[in-house]
Amino acid sequence: MKERTLGIIKPDGVARKLIGRVMERLEEAELRIVALKMIKLSKEQAKGFYKVHERKPFYESVTDFMSSGPCVVMVLEGKDAIEKYRTLMGATDHRKAAEGTIRRDFATDIEKNVVHGSDSKVTAEYEIGFFFSTLEIAG
């Protein structure tokens, strides 16, 4: 079924000039980029985005990281886009990520792991709405 998900190239991915290589993999996997922009989150915005992790020990650190520099945010559309993109990204910890995944190939750290992807339909809807209005998403 055709779905949409929210993808982010995190500040480490942008700083390390990985935008092109990440996007190439998405396009090759038939994930269509239907909305795209570059933004720099404030600390407060990063805290809002990662609110589900509020009680986790890494919350302060990950929100500092996510507000440390520009991110590329995008809406990806395709068949089973949520699951497909999660598979392309690989496990949160790059040392546990499968071969050929973005995190296995490019991430350096469990926190600085290059990309984000929504983990469910409900999360995808919330996260897409967090960054984009319907006017900004191509049909």
Nearer to ligand ATP, 67 or 113 (CB): 113
Number of shown-chain residues binding ligand ATP (CB under 6 A):
10
Smallest CA-to-CA distance from 46 within 58, 64, 73 is with 64
Nearer to ligand ATP, 56 or 138 (CB): 56
Q: Which of 42, 92, 108, 120 forms a contact with ligand ATP (CB under 6 A)?
A: 92
Supply 95's token pair. 């040392």
Q: State the minimum distance, in angstroms, from the CB of residue 8 to ligand ATP.
A: 7
116 is catalytic: yes
Binding positions for Mg ion, 104-133, rule CB under 5 A: 119
Sign of torsion over alpha carbons 30, 35, 38, 41: negative
CB 72 within 8 A of CB 14: yes
Number of shown-chain residues binding Mg ion (CB under 5 A):
1
Catalytic residue among 7, 116, 117, 132: 116
How far apart (Å, rounded) are the C-alpha atoms in residues 131 and 128? 6
Nearer to Mg ion, 52 or 138 (CB): 52
Sign of torsion over alpha carbons 50, 46, 108, 39: positive
Supply 96's token pair. 């546990």
**Quick one: what does residue 42 bind among Mg ion, ligand ATP, none, with the CB cut-off 5 to 8 Å set by partner type?**
none
Active site amino acids? 116
